């Protein structure tokens, strides 16, 4: 019951964190060393499974017996998606922020799979605001998928559009497309084909299949797959359904009977959604609980966590807090190093504080301005990479007394960076834990969006090597940036841009 009390909050309105960092005089940090396959962090009497055992409490835990595949490139990701669609026999379940309106090939593959296998069922979960945003020719994710519902019926094809309760009434009418998405999104990225699950941070659009770097991990396990199918289905119960009816847009949206509309009754919606999600998580925790003594260091563990603070669900937030505490406690006695990646240098105050206070060494990997998805944007959005550089410089200034915290920027000609996650090297040259999923570890990942990630504790050396090579592959296109370099980059930034920092930190 402790887990449920932690999940179900009485006050679901986001709180603003007010963390104050003291200025400390310190010499310039020396150049940092990078992760390498040869570096040895020192011995320890405890195994990673023992150190991270507290992470298995109050969360479902899956022992994965089949090999886990770590994908490295967007093209591999797309091939796996198409392969999964072609070979699925029972169900396909896709959870993403959106499907690019140009992805007619992907939708055609779904259509062909449905036509060839009358027993196949397809579920798609997208964000309502992003999934109904139209492109230059008026096409949207919803309009792209609605014909599948019409042709094969709701019994076989269900398209769900989750809508945040934070945007309702007159506010919903006032905010235009794109800007309304700052209030909260369905951000979970999981792609399920029968017993196979691809966990990622990538969306379903052309750049994520070609030159937008993310992370992708395929896990094959029937119980693990069933967890994510039920997660998507549960969110689907509190989402709009896409139906093919409206001639103007090509679709219409309907809430299920008896479910509060988040745009009209946000309070009622939050109450119902909180109860439904808490029941799902509590049931999953009970069904997939493991005793600490039953875990062997040869077991590969997969621990899924979700974050839905607008609905009162804070499972991943608690999980991350526990992780930082465990790494810090271990590093007080043994050498430890962790790598944390995000598409944007916009880590939440509590995560930045955890890094700064940690006894462990930390490397932070983010997109360079040129690899930022907003680099070629128009209007005010073109200044967003500059804003992240300002935030990055401020953190480097706060970390100047530490010679074991480095900032690395991903820079690859013609590519953007959208990767996110954690690699933890407790006392070995190979990682003993990784986290992969949708959170960018920023304010909105904690307070605004629906997020899910999976903590993987490898039980064999081959998986450790694969995860390590993934990290090295990202770092191969990255470089360490110094405080002086960031200071030079942000010098001359207009004052009004700095004034937008609170908005960017909480909305982007």
**Following DSSP, what letter does each residue of 65-93 receive, concatenated?**
-SPPEEE-SHHHHHHHHHHHHHH-SSEEE
Q: What percent of the chain has pLDDT over 70?
A: 89
Q: Which of 194, 196, 214, 386 is catalytic?
A: 194
Does the annotation mark 20 as catalytic?
Answer: no
pLDDT for residue 194: 98
Packed helices 74-87 and 104-116: angle between N→C axes, nearest 10 degrees: 20
pLDDT for residue 14: 35
40 pLDDT higher than 90:
no
- At 365-374, the pLDDT tens digits run 999 999 998 7
Question: Residue 227 and residue 247: Cα distance in Å, rounded?
Answer: 37
26 pLDDT higher than 50:
no
Does the annotation mark 195 as catalytic?
Answer: no
**Predicted structure pTM score:** 0.91
pLDDT for residue 438: 98
Q: In residues, how long is the chain?
A: 508
Question: Residue 235 and residue 254: Cα distance in Å, rounded?
Answer: 15
Q: Over range 337-353, report the average pLDDT.
A: 96
pLDDT for residue 455: 98
Distance of CA 167 to the CA centre of its chain: 22
Distance of CA 47 to the CA centre of its chain: 27
Q: Which of 49, 111, 189, 468 is catalytic?
A: 189
38 pLDDT higher than 50:
no
Does the annotation mark 194 as catalytic?
Answer: yes
The strand pairing partners of 2, in sequence order, are none
pLDDT for residue 6: 41
493 pLDDT higher than 60:
yes
- At 379-426, the pLDDT tens digits run 767 778 888 999 999 999 999 999 999 999 999 999 999 999 999 999
Q: Where does residue 301 rank: exposed (0-12), middle (13-18), buried (19+ CB within 10 A)?
A: buried
Question: Residue 348 and residue 196: Cα distance in Å, rounded?
Answer: 32
pLDDT for residue 18: 28
43 pLDDT higher than 80:
no
- At 96-106, the pLDDT tens digits run 999 999 999 99
- At 181-239, the pLDDT tens digits run 999 999 999 999 999 999 999 999 999 999 999 999 999 999 999 999 999 999 999 99
32 pLDDT higher than 80:
no
Which H or E run contains 367? strand 361-367
Q: Which of 163, 187, 319, 506 is catalytic?
A: 187
Mean residue pLDDT of the chain comes to 89
Residue 210, C-beta contacts closer than 8 angstroms, at least 6 positions apart: 74, 75
Q: Which of 148, 228, 222 is nearest to 189 (CA)?
A: 228
Q: Where does residue 424 rank: exposed (0-12), middle (13-18), buried (19+ CB within 10 A)?
A: buried
């Amino acid at each position: 019951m402790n887990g449920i009390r932690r999940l179900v909050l009485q006050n679901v309105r986001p709180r603003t964190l007010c963390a104050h960092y003291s200025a400390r005089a310190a010499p310039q940090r020396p150049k940092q060393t990078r992760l390498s396959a040869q570096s040895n962090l020192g011995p320890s009497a405890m195994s990673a499974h023992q150190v991270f055992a507290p992470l298995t409490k109050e969360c479902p835990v899956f022992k994965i017996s089949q090999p886990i595949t770590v994908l490295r490139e967007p093209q591999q990701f797309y091939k796996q998606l198409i392969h999964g669609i072609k070979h699925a026999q029972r169900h396909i379940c896709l959870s993403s922020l959106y499907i690019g309106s140009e992805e007619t090939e992907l939708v055609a593959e779904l259509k062909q799979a449905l036509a060839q296998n009358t027993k196949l069922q397809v579920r798609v979960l997208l964000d309502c605001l992003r999934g109904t945003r139209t492109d230059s020719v008026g096409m949207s994710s919803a309009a792209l998928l609605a014909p599948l519902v019409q042709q094969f019926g709701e019994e076989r094809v269900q398209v769900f559009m989750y809508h945040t309760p934070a945007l309702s009434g007159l506010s919903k009418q006032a905010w235009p497309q794109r800007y309304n998405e700052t209030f909260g999104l369905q951000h979970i990225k999981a792609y399920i084909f029968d017993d196979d699950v691809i966990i990622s941070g990538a969306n379903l659009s052309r750049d994520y299949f070609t030159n937008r770097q993310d992370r992708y991990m395929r896990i094959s396990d029937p119980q693990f797959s069933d967890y994510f199918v039920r997660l998507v289905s549960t969110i689907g119960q509190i989402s709009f359904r896409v139906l093919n009816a409206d001639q103007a847009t090509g679709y219409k949206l309907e809430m299920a009977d008896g479910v509060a509309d988040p745009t009209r009754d946000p309070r009622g919606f939050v109450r119902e959604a909180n109860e439904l999600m808490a029941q799902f998580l509590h049931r999953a925790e009970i069904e997939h609980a493991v005793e600490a003594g039953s875990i062997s260091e040869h077991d590969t563990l997969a621990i899924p966590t979700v974050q839905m603070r607008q609905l009162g669900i804070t499972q991943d937030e608690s999980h991350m807090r526990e992780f930082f505490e465990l790494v810090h406690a271990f590093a007080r006695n043994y050498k430890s190093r962790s790598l944390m990646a995000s598409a944007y240098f916009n880590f939440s105050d509590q995560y930045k504080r955890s890094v700064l206070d940690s006894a462990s060494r930390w490397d932070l990997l983010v997109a360079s301005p040129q690899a930022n998805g907003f680099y070629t944007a128009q209007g005010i959005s073109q200044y967003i990479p500059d804003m992240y550089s300002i935030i990055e410089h401020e953190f480097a200034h706060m970390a100047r007394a530490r010679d074991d915290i480095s900032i690395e920027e991903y820079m690859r000609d013609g590519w953007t960076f959208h990767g996110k996650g954690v690699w933890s090297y407790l006392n070995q040259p190979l990682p003993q834990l990784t986290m992969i999923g949708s959170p960018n570890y920023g304010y909105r990942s904690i307070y605004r969006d629906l997020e899910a990630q999976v903590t993987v504790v490898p039980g064999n050396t081959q998986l450790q090597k694969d995860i390590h090579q993934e990290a090295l592959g990202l770092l191969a296109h990255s470089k360490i940036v110094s405080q002086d370099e960031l200071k030079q980059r942000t010098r001359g930034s207009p004052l009004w841009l700095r004034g937008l920092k609170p908005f960017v930190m909480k909305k982007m």
